[in-house]
Amino acid sequence: MAALIIVQARMGSSRFPGKPLARLRGRPTLWYLFRQLSYCRNEVTPILATTDRERDDPLAGWGWKNRIKVFRGSEDDVLGRYRDTARAFGAEDETPIVRLAGDDIFPDPRLIDAALDLLASFKGRIDCVFTPVDETLPASVYVESYLFSALARAHVEATDPSDREHVTPYIRRNIEKFPRIEIQGAPPCPGIQISLDHPEDLELNKKVLDRLQSFATPPYSVADLLKATESIEEKKGTP
């Protein structure tokens, strides 16, 4: 079965309402994320997982209009939304799940493929593959993948509201229950902080996109993002 790439997004962010459909050079921000996913080498099924709230009707409608698979579930229990999304699209215990946030619109399909390749190579020995989140590889380019069996177990066992909201902290804390490995070899990129958390981040992403389009073609890599952001910082510092 194809890996399920589940993208969580909603219109009701308190810091940046409506950001999944905010316009970035004439297109919704989320369009760029799904374009990146179209370049994955592995067989994947991208899914937009939004909420069942009325304010997310336009987001779900955008997904359907663009022939993107859509699932709607709980706004607050995001772990439950992931489990329910995967089940709705036929996930079995060994089905790989990739989790992405709609805030980070330039995921590197090469990292996604690397995570899926590792899950397949270590089949039966690991449940999860993560890129390390530290000063060298920030959340803007973060990828995590795990088997559906791990997601389903976390759904049953995790009771802390924070674990339900943020999906994978329970899996991360319980190494003995969920064996994992980290992706190695991604280029260090401490300067990439382009998540769409606040309205002003949209302007930064416009600058990043303009710079990317000046020297690269999709799919954009982590190295491309690093070059683009460094160029912007250098220009900012020019007297």
Residue 32 has a pLDDT of 99
- The closest of 100, 99, 93, 46 to 68, measured between CA atoms, is 46
pLDDT of amino acid 177: 97
Q: Which domain holds residue 44?
A: 3-237
Confidence (pLDDT) at 142:
85
How many structural domains are present in the chain? 1
Handedness of CA 183, 102, 33, 91 (dihedral sign): positive
Assess contact for 128 and 145: CB atoms under 8 A: yes
pLDDT along the chain (239 residues), means of 10: 97 97 98 99 99 99 99 98 99 98 96 96 96 68 94 98 96 96 75 87 96 97 90 62
Closest by CA to 196, choosing from 32, 66, 46, is 32
DSSP H helices, 42-135, are 57-65, 78-88, 109-121
User: In the prediction, which pLDDT does 190 show?
Assistant: 63
Q: Give residue 232's pLDDT.
A: 83
User: What pLDDT does 239 receive?
Assistant: 45
Q: Please report, in angstroms and rounded to a whole number, the separation of the first and last CA atoms in the chain.
A: 55
- Side-chain half-sphere CA neighbours of 150 within 13 A: 31
Q: What is the CATH number of the domain that holds 133?
A: 3.90.550.10
